[in-house]
Structure 1
Amino acid sequence: MTLALAIHGGCGTLPKAEMTEAEWAQARSDLAGALRAGWTILAKGGPAVDAVEAAVRVMEDSPHFNAGHGAAFNADGEHELDASIMDGATLAAGAVCAAKHIRNPIVAAKALMLRGDPLLLAGPAADVFAEHEGVDTVPNEYFSTERRRKNLASMKIREIVGTASEASEAEKHGTVGAVACDAQGHLAAATSTGGYTNKPAGRVGDSPIIGAGTYARDGRCAVSGTGKGEYFIRYCVGHEIASLVAYKGLTLDQATHEVLGELSDHKIGAGLVAVGADGTIVAPYNTEGMYRGWVTPDGLLHVATHGDVEMVGQA
């Protein structure tokens, strides 16, 4: 089988002028680090589900992405984190939502998947589960960054003056995710997010919803999405793409663009990464940019933030 790994760090990437070149370089370096973490597992014959967990965990630890450290604030000035993971070989999955203290929500989601039942835990129950499983927990303020504080202040002002709908995707959203195909041909997907800036407390988006923001099924594809979660849930984006591949015979590229086109009709920012059963990788988006990256079969790392794709060395 063709080994494959692709990641995203959210669509609606900041305009280039809003970060220094050093900050852009660090963001790209963190994307490369996520790819190396996942590819190391795949190259040793490890399972796709372990690879996507490892890749997402690196991005959760980076302040440049809206997941884990660097997550968005909700309307109450707190962080509520969502994550899910799915093994395409067995359809096993695990997810947490509205968690406030799990340092790496994707690790808790994976632990829940291995437990088998329940599939999804919310709020304090997710935090308690993580503690019982020995998953690292932290004070809620651990996730805070100055950039996210500024985003919250900006969105609060926009809400008051009635311009919230005009906010950039970068101000509002952000998600990280990974998809992979391992040496046995098994697929997996994982997604993690802090939701959108100034979201109502308790709001849950598509990232922890299996079939919406995250989906993997052997023989079809694995998908991780980013964008306005409410629409990803309504369209069951991950499952819809897999169904178009299985039942309509579309290529992965055709299926993802068909679904992304429907989302674009609603004038919302959206993007995703997906991998097919044959190792094909696609990473479409309809915003100015999307943090993204993938590894080619020869082990070369490629990362991008806007239009240009940069080759950054060997995995």
Structure 2
Amino acid sequence: MKPIALAIHGGCGVMAQTGLSQQEWEEARADLASALRAGWVVLSKGGRALDAVQAAVIVLEDSPHFNAGHGAALNAEGEHELDSAIMDGATLAAGSVSAVRRIRNPVKAARALLEDGSLLMLTGPAADRYAEEHGLEIVSPDYFTTQRRTDTLKTMQAHERAGTAASASEAEKHGTVGAVALDSAGHLAAATSTGGYTNKPAGRVGDSPIIGAGTYARDGACAVSGTGQGEFFIRHVVGHEIASRIDYLDESLEHAAGKLIHLDLARYNIGAGLVAVDAKGNIAAPFNTDGMFRGWITPDGDLSVASHREVFFVERLR
């Protein structure tokens, strides 16, 4: 049987370990494990990597513990503008939405655009209308709001008034969720979803919905989903760059992904991380912050999750 593998992230720059109660940390790790199981069910039954990454991201969008969907960050006007993308490494087909406000699961809208084939990206109210016309669940914008995000917005705006925004923690600034997968047919896929960074200007779009930057998949090379300050992921076309280094320079996934996070992006002194999987089922999850919500299931079925440096083995699924 050909290898299958799955990796997810829930954003780099997780808060200090004292910033959440023990119960909240456990709940966040449990949601990571649930997202992995959702994707693994698809893969273990011979399903497509594309379906697996979508299934995993939906779980994370529905969790209040991550900056996507329910629990997404608020912009400077106290509103949610959500971005998402999904890509099929077998065909390079992709779908993407940005600045949406009413789609419960933006990754589903991105998938609808991928399947449509005539469009790749829609933004703002047009994307919301497209989702509604295609039968996706539409919610009131306040569905996405949680008390933690409201409090974080107040904190970031206070930093801005005091001129101390640069000293804010990575957890106060941003977060993203994403998934990458390799299926039994040897195909790769990636999906990413985010609320962007807290107190972002209205209309700002980051790297998550930009194919080749925060989301990318190419069979034979790798699938990548990024998290961090998106403007720099766009400038470096991070996902495509990692795939190209594997393709053209025959670098390992670990080396190529590590170079982008620890060398290329390090010069900007920004928080950055990603998860990636290659055509052999190797997984990489580099990050340069105090932590990154992440998890993976290796080809042998071992499920592990982590937030900071310590990795928690959860169970073996095969």
Map Cα deviations across residues 5-62 of structure 1 (whole Å, 9 max, x no partner).
Answer: 0000000011100000000000000000000000000000000000000000000000
Question: Which amino acid is the alignment partner of residue 293 of structure 2?
Answer: Y
Q: Which amino acid aligns with 1:251?
A: S
Q: Distance in 2 between matches of 1:298 and 1:183?
A: 13
Question: Distance in 2 between the 1:117 and 1:88 partners?
Answer: 18
**Structure 1 residue 298 corresponds to structure 2 residue 304:** no
Q: For residue 265 of structure 1, give the secondary structure of its aligned residue in structure 2.
A: helix
In structure 1, the residue corresponding to 2:41 is in which secondary structure?
helix
Measure, in 2, the Cα distance between the counterparts of 1:299 and 1:255.
Answer: 25
Partner of 1:221: 222
Q: Distance in 2 between matches of 1:56 and 1:117?
A: 24
Residue 13 of structure 2 aligns with which residue? 12
More deviation, 260-269/221-230 = 260-269
Q: Secondary structure at the match of 2:139?
A: coil
**What's the offset of the Cα at 1:265?**
1.2
Take 1:119 and 1:67, find their aligned partners in 2: how far apart are those partners? 20
What is the one-letter code of the residue matched to 1:173?
H
CA positional deviation for 1:144: 0.3
Match of 1:287 in 2: 289
Provide the C-alpha distance between the structure 2 equivalents of 1:278 and 1:297, rounded to a whole number of angstroms. 9
Structure 1: state its 5+ residue gaps.
none
Runs of 4+ in 1 over 2 A off after TM superposition: none
Which whole-Å CA distance do the structure 2 matches of 1:184 and 1:7 have between them?
20
Residues 174-253 of structure 1: pairs in structure 2 closer than 5 A: 174-253=175-254
- Rounded Cα–Cα distance in structure 2 between residues aligned with 1:309 and 1:234: 31
Partner residue in 2 for 1:102: 103
Query: What is the aligned-residue identity percentage?
Result: 64
Task: Report the Cα distance in structure 1 between the residues aligned to 2:160 and 2:224, rounded to whole angstroms.
Answer: 33
Aligned residue pairs: how many? Answer: 315
SS of 1:33 mapped into structure 2: helix
User: Structure 2: which amino acid aligns with 1:289?
Assistant: G
Per the alignment, residue 116 of structure 2 pairs with 115
The answer for unaligned runs of 5 or more in structure 2 is none
Q: Write the letter of the residue equivalent to 1:78.
A: E
Partners of 1:26 and 1:133 lie apart in 2 by 33
Residue 118 of structure 1 deviates from its aligned partner by: 1.0
Tell me how far apart the structure 2 counterparts of residues 118 and 298 of structure 1 sit (CA, whole Å): 38
Distance 2:290 2:157 in 1: 24
Name the SS of the counterpart of 1:179 in structure 2. strand
* 1:42-81 paired onto structure 2 within 5 Å: 42-81=43-82
1:298 Cα deviation (Å)?
A: 2.5
Q: Distance in 1 between matches of 2:3 and 2:142?
A: 42
2:270 corresponds in structure 1 to: 268
* AA at the equivalent of 2:306: A
Deviation at residue 168 of structure 1 after TM alignment: 0.6
The whole-number CA distance in structure 1 between the counterparts of 2:255 and 2:314 is: 28
The whole-number CA distance in structure 2 between the counterparts of 1:299 and 1:221 is: 19
Aligned residue number for residue 154 of structure 1: 155
Question: Partner amino acid for 2:270?
Answer: I
Looking at structure 2, the residues matched to 14 and 168 of structure 1 have their Cα atoms a distance apart, in angstroms, of 7
CA distance in 2, matches of 1:134, 1:143: 19
CA distance, structure 2, for counterparts of residue 159 and residue 116 of structure 1: 42
Provide the C-alpha distance between the structure 2 equivalents of 1:133 and 1:3, rounded to a whole number of angstroms: 31
Q: Which residue of 2 aligns with 1:40?
A: 41
Contact between 2:281 and 2:298, CA under 8 Å: does it hold in 1?
no
Aligned partner of 1:23 in structure 2 is 24
Q: Classify the secondary structure of the residue corresponding to 2:72.
A: coil
Whole-Å separation in 2 of the counterparts to 1:277 and 1:314: 22
Contact kept, 8 Å, 2:85 with 2:208, in 1: the verdict is: yes
Task: Report whether the alignment pairs 1:129 with 2:123.
Answer: no
- For the residue of structure 2 that corresponds to 1:210, the secondary structure is coil
